[in-house]
């Protein structure tokens, strides 16, 4: 047995049974070992950003770590952007990177680079076993590091000779990462939070692992009993939504409006996340969004027990059960394709239990409101702001959940990681891609006004427009193996969505839309 | 005048007049300033790896630095793989990365990451001006750092507030980076090299900046006068080739054969590059390729004056001028498409002065031999081993040279950076893409045997095959705006190549080939 096989066996023993892979020469023993370890499934991705985004999506819907398999520094770098999103999503992820043989590193061969330094910027632990004997132990440590809490992107750098070298005495049992209990909330902070929720203008601010139906239900009770608002971060990792699910008020993306939204608060109680800040800085807009006098109570930071904190507040406030608000999903729309009719079409047709991977950017502005009373579903969003997350995350979410995934994708964003479409086709994944095409980086039209860069000459205009030539999104999808159709009315969109939900495997629907701003 | 505009003015004053851009919010003032600085041309790329590879290609054919424009950590990471190739190509490159406003960084907003740490792994200097006043000076330093010698990837991190902030007193003249002279070779080493070239079994080993016609011609004279072999590194940055150009013997990629190729040498004199080592490590194959008794004379390491070293050796050896070998380009081939007929078709039809961006991998095995007496051209190769370089480098080479570029691209490799096709279409670049389709990661079939990972079960097979579904390469090209055709015989390939050379703008030719191994 070699090091690679001991890694796969350890992964299997720890329930890391899916690996999203884009291998090269230094990973060939890992690839060969897949033939011998039946309980680990490998999924080929044609670009590393697909593999890392898929591992993120898998973790968001299962709560469990998937692995990546990447090829040295370039493979890690190509996967970094979606690892950044996974880091901000605070999901567990085992990032496996093949490296040169230990004794080859000193020769500075063409592919040599400082992998550990790049991986270190992902803010999770980095492991680098130097002998085949150490692989299983280090892998178990890496998996433990991935689960945390807080959950992290843990990296295992596997040199080629450590991968192909013999493990002289494989252990009788593979090491298993022991789960670590998330710390309970501090009693004094709980008292403080309960008192201030009762006595001041307050909000409970949810994020991270606190956006499940169960935890949001606890928060709703706290809000009803105390008079506090219940809010949710702008970009939740995986949020339960739809009919029967309590819906907190979402923090607005635009700092200017978020400041107003939070302006009258005297207390903000954080559960599962940190204090919200501006996504970008803008001239004359503060980076902190709460007022200077707002008392921020970091009751349950990431990696602590958010459920225990909410349950304790429910107890302290003696908060009774409350029924969720009722409402109806929109009717299926008719007529022109607009941001409104798009949102209504998604909301009206969404299958029960679907997963919505949302990279709709400006085109999706009406989506959150429209889907509040749609069929129960989970919403996955752009946690780290790194564009190109939507299709890869959909790949992993489909494999992890087995449910229908709807991937709302913008034309500009799709171009970063369109290779995900091929993996959807190859694996027969039930993904409905809704590609929103306004042929611009429309969000930048808007952002450049917000930062005060208002010149609009030909040179700058040419950096925002995606026409000349027009991107044929359906053509891209078909070339990568996904059946595609362009719709021209809301009625056609509704039909295409329903048809796609009734069809196994991926479908691609292009929706031309005017720019929203 | 703001910081962004002072950056562009400084770039213009230093001849950095092309910027390959994929901007986001934090780069909007840079984008706006393009409207005011007419001598800098911005080229939009839909993925950062296209922008960085294009800047590499531009530098390879012009010797001058182009700039990138990337969006925070994710933009840098997406561009890192081709920056790694540029680093290994040792070309000058100004890597501009927008960042959060200086005062925003402490809030750990979603897109916050350690940009300097990631950029630091590229082995070039990193500059990070903190005040608008400092931008011009730091930019000039970065440009000086890019030119070296040795030439490097120099990074300038530009915070949003430094970009939008006012420069109170713009300088009367923009700072200009002073050229630094490359160090001349050491006299003792010159004497040693000359003596050993004359008296031992020797080779002159060329790379880096020493692969121009002029410098290779000097090396040829040294070889003829001393009896030494003249060799060239496996992956030259930009090598003059074709009829009338002296052709050194290329070091074989496969370590097993390279060891044999170098086995009888007692002396290896390095000009423009370092000692060659194995691309990867393989069990039972040494990482060093020269024999243990070979005396390696590092006469002109990267960043030193390779021309002076060669000229001095010519003088010491009193080496007369020699005529280059003569030969004929192959006839235009007919019949089946094979690796041989592909190579012959390229060689037979190549226009004078073309640039060949070669990412043909296994399918291009016969190319180097076949093109030895083709029309004079320049060969650009995969210096850093980071896949996905061929199409982006072709973009930059076309813009930098104004010549016809032939981009030989493999199906697996093309999938990493296919977005380059759109930029070719948009800019009307004279690029002929020859896409070699064997529907496998064929090099890995081969590499896994070399590393001794010979199992070939279903699970491992599925990570090497690119069928299921078949990639429609022509479909990808058309969807991104490039006219495409599939050829089925060598005759059709020859016609398609000739047609493409006679047509302005890009063309895409898919060539189905059996896997070479």
Q: How many residues does chain A have?
A: 517
The string of pLDDT tens digits covering residues A16-66 is 999 999 999 999 999 999 999 989 999 999 999 999 999 999 999 999 999
Q: How large is the ipTM?
A: 0.97
Identify whether the C-beta of residue A103 lies closer than 8 Å to the C-beta of residue A47.
Answer: no
Assign a CATH topology to domain B3-164.
Answer: Rossmann fold (3.40.50)
Q: Tokens in use for A279?
A: 């996504």
Across the interface, whether the CB atoms of A451 and B100 are under 8 A apart is answered no
Residues of chain B with C-beta less than 8 angstroms from the C-beta of A23 = 444, 463
Please give the residue of chain B at the shortest CA–CA distance from A160: B281
- For chain A, the straight-line distance linking the first and the last C-alpha, in angstroms and rounded, comes to 60
Shortest CA distance to B33 belongs to which of B52, B60, B5, B55? B5
- pTM summary value: 0.98
Residues of chain A with C-beta less than 8 angstroms from the C-beta of B21 = 463
The string of pLDDT tens digits covering residues A61-88 is 999 999 999 999 999 999 999 999 999 9
Please give the Cα distance from B384 to A112 (Å, whole number): 9
Q: Average pLDDT, stretch B302-313?
A: 98
Q: Tokens in use for A82?
A: 């979606």
> Within an 8 Å CB–CB cutoff, is residue A383 touching chain B?
yes
Q: How confident is the model at residue A256 (pLDDT cuts 50, 70, 90)?
A: very high
* B402 CB neighbour count, 10 Å cutoff: 13
Measured CA distances, A107 to A112, B149, B447 (Å): 8, 22, 20
Tell me phi and psi for residue B127, to 5 degrees: -115, 145
**How distant is the Cα of B116 from the closest Cα of chain A, in angstroms?**
10
Q: How many residues does chain B have?
A: 517
Tell me phi and psi for residue A149, to 5 degrees: -75, 150
Q: What is the largest CA-CA distance in chain B?
A: 69
Across the interface, whether the CB atoms of B444 and A28 are under 8 A apart is answered yes
> Within an 8 Å CB–CB cutoff, is residue A475 touching chain B?
yes
Across the interface, whether the CB atoms of B280 and A25 are under 8 A apart is answered yes
Half-sphere exposure of A318 (CA within 13 A, CB side): 0
Q: Does domain B339-512 have CATH number 1.10.1240.10?
A: no
Across the interface, whether the CB atoms of A78 and B78 are under 8 A apart is answered yes
Measured CA distances, B512 to A248, B409, B509 (Å): 55, 12, 10
Half-sphere exposure of B131 (CA within 13 A, CB side): 7
Task: Please determine, for residue A162, whether its predicted confidence score (pLDDT) is greater than 70.
Answer: yes
User: Could you tell me whether strands B239-241 and B229-232 are parallel, antiparallel, or unpaired per DSSP bridges?
Assistant: unpaired
Query: Residue B250 pairs with which residues in a beta bridge?
Result: B232
Half-sphere exposure of B380 (CA within 13 A, CB side): 34
Q: Average pLDDT, stretch A477-502?
A: 98
For chain B positions 134-173, those within 8 Å of chain A (CB to CB) are 160-161, 164
Residues of chain B with C-beta less than 8 angstroms from the C-beta of A483 = none
Across the interface, whether the CB atoms of B416 and A46 are under 8 A apart is answered yes
Domain with CATH 3.40.50.1220 in chain B: 187-317
pLDDT of residue B215: 98
Across the interface, whether the CB atoms of B44 and A463 are under 8 A apart is answered yes
For chain A positions 277-296, those within 8 Å of chain B (CB to CB) are 277-281, 283, 287-288
pLDDT of residue B515: 74
Across the interface, whether the CB atoms of B469 and A456 are under 8 A apart is answered no
| CB-neighbour burial class of residue A505 (10 A; exposed 0-12, middle 13-18, buried 19+) | middle
For chain A positions 226-245, those within 8 Å of chain B (CB to CB) are 235
Eight-state DSSP code of residue B352: T
pLDDT of residue A516: 62
pLDDT of residue B133: 96
SS3 assignment for A387-419: CCCHHHHHHHHHHHHCCCEEEEEEHHHHCCCCC
Residue in B121, B278, B510 to test binding to A, most A beta-carbons within 10 Å: B121
Residues of chain A with C-beta less than 8 angstroms from the C-beta of B49 = 78
Task: Please determine, for residue A485, whether its predicted confidence score (pLDDT) is greater than 90.
Answer: yes
Identify whether the C-beta of residue A392 lies closer than 8 Å to the C-beta of residue A420.
Answer: yes
Residue in A38, A107, A298 to test binding to B, most B beta-carbons within 10 Å: A107
Across the interface, whether the CB atoms of A31 and B416 are under 8 A apart is answered no
Residues of chain B with C-beta less than 8 angstroms from the C-beta of A453 = 28-29, 31-32, 164
Mean pLDDT of all residues in chain A? Answer: 96
Task: Please determine, for residue B285, whether its predicted confidence score (pLDDT) is greater than 80.
Answer: yes
Across the interface, whether the CB atoms of B29 and A453 are under 8 A apart is answered yes
Place of tokens 């009373």: A373
Helix, strand, coil share (%) of chain B residues, nearest 5: 40, 20, 40
Domain with CATH 3.40.50.970 in chain B: 3-164, 339-512
Mean pLDDT of all residues in chain B? Answer: 96
Please give the Cα distance from A170 to A495 (Å, whole number): 56
Residues of chain A with C-beta less than 8 angstroms from the C-beta of B444 = 23-25, 28, 31
Please give the Cα distance from B301 to B306 (Å, whole number): 8
The string of pLDDT tens digits covering residues A190-207 is 999 999 999 999 999 999
Weakest mean pLDDT among A101-110, A344-353, B33-42, B442-451: B442-451
Across the interface, whether the CB atoms of A78 and B49 are under 8 A apart is answered yes
Q: How confident is the model at residue B114 (pLDDT cuts 50, 70, 90)?
A: very high
Beta strand ranges found along B371-497 (DSSP E): 377-380, 405-410, 431-437, 484-486
The string of pLDDT tens digits covering residues B324-336 is 889 999 999 999 9
Shortest CA distance to B26 belongs to which of A175, A450, A237, A491? A450
Shortest CA distance to B35 belongs to which of A515, A445, A454, A465? A454
> Within an 8 Å CB–CB cutoff, is residue B481 touching chain A?
yes
Q: How confident is the model at residue B517 (pLDDT cuts 50, 70, 90)?
A: low
Of B78, B451, B463, the CB nearest to A25: B451
> Within an 8 Å CB–CB cutoff, is residue B108 touching chain A?
yes
Of B32, B103, B447, the CB nearest to A460: B32
Of B42, B77, B475, the CB nearest to A475: B475
Residues of chain B with C-beta less than 8 angstroms from the C-beta of A36 = 455, 457
Q: How confident is the model at residue A445 (pLDDT cuts 50, 70, 90)?
A: confident
Please give the Cα distance from A314 to A316 (Å, whole number): 6
Identify whether the C-beta of residue B116 lies closer than 8 Å to the C-beta of residue B126.
Answer: yes
**How distant is the Cα of B322 from the closest Cα of chain A, in angstroms?**
33
| CB-neighbour burial class of residue A452 (10 A; exposed 0-12, middle 13-18, buried 19+) | middle
Eight-state DSSP code of residue B281: -
Q: Average pLDDT, stretch A216-235?
A: 98
Q: At what angle do helices A390-401 and A72-89 cross, to 10 degrees?
A: 70
Task: Please determine, for residue A517, whether its predicted confidence score (pLDDT) is greater than 60.
Answer: no
Q: Average pLDDT, stretch A356-377?
A: 95
Please give the residue of chain A at the shortest CA–CA distance from B46: A415
Q: How confident is the model at residue B451 (pLDDT cuts 50, 70, 90)?
A: confident
Q: Does domain A187-317 have CATH number 3.90.1150.10?
A: no
The string of pLDDT tens digits covering residues B253-269 is 999 999 999 999 999 99
Across the interface, whether the CB atoms of A34 and B459 are under 8 A apart is answered yes
Q: Which SS3 state, helix, strand or coil, does residue A247 take?
A: coil
Please give the residue of chain A at the shortest CA–CA distance from B386: A74
User: Could you tell me whether strands B239-241 and B377-380 are parallel, antiparallel, or unpaired per DSSP bridges?
Assistant: antiparallel
Please give the Cα distance from B441 to A420 (Å, whole number): 17
């Amino acid at each position: 047995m070699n090091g690679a096989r001991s890694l796969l066996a350890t992964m299997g023993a720890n329930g890391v049974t899916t690996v999203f892979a884009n291998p090269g020469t230094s990973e060939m023993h890992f690839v060969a070992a897949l033939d011998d370890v039946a309980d680990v499934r490998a999924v080929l991705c044609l670009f590393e950003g697909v593999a890392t985004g898929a591992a993120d999506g898998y973790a968001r819907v299962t709560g469990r770590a998937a692995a990546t398999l990447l090829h040295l520094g370039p493979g890690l770098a190509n996967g970094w952007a979606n690892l950044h999103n996974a880091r901000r999503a605070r999901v567990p992820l085992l990032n496996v990177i093949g490296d040169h043989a230990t004794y080859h590193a000193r020769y500075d061969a063409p592919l040599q680079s400082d992998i550990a330094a790049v991986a270190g910027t992902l803010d999770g632990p980095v492991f680098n076993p130097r002998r085949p004997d150490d692989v299983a132990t280090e892998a178990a440590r890496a998996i433990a590091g991935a689960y945390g809490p807080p959950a992290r992107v843990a990296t295992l750098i596997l040199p080629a000779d450590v991968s192909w070298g013999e493990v002289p005495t494989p252990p009788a049992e593979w090491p298993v990462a022991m789960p670590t209990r998330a710390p309970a909330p501090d009693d004094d902070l709980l008292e403080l939070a309960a008192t201030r929720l009762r006595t001041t203008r307050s909000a409970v601010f949810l994020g991270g692992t606190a956006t499940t139906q169960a935890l949001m239900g606890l928060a709703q009770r706290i809000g009803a009993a105390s008079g506090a608002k219940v809010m949710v971060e702008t970009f939740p990792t995986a949020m339960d939504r739809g009919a029967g699910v309590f819906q907190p008020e979402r923090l607005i993306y635009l700092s200017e409006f978020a400041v107003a939204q939070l302006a009258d608060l005297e207390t903000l109680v954080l559960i599962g996340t940190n204090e919200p800040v501006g996504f970008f800085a803008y001239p004359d807009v503060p980076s902190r969004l709460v007022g200077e006098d707002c008392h921020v109570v970091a009751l349950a930071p990431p990696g602590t027990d958010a459920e225990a904190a909410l349950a304790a507040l429910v107890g302290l406030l003696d908060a009774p059960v409350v029924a969720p608000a009722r409402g109806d999903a929109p009717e299926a729309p008719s007529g022109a394709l607009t941001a409104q009719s798009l949102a209504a079409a998604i909301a009206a047709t969404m299958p029960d239990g679907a997963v919505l991977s949302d990279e709709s950017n400006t085109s999706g502005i009406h989506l959150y409101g429209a889907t509040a009373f749609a069929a129960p579903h989970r919403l996955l969003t752009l946690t780290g702001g790194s564009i190109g997350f939507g299709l890869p995350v959909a790949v992993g979410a489909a494999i992890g959940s087995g449910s229908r995934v709807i991937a709302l994708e913008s034309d500009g964003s799709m171009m970063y990681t369109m290779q995900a479409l091929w993996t959807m086709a190859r694996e027969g994944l039930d993904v409905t891609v809704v590609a929103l095409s306004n042929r611009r980086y429309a969000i930048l039209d808007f952002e450049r006004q917000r930062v005060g860069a208002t010149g609009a000459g030909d040179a700058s205009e040419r950096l925002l427009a995606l026409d000349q030539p027009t991107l044929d999104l359906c053509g891209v999808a078909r070339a990568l193996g996904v059946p595609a159709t362009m719709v021209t009315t809301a009625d056609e969109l509704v039909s295409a969505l329903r048809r796609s939900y009734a069809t196994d495997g991926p479908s691609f629907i292009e929706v031309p839309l005017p720019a929203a701003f």
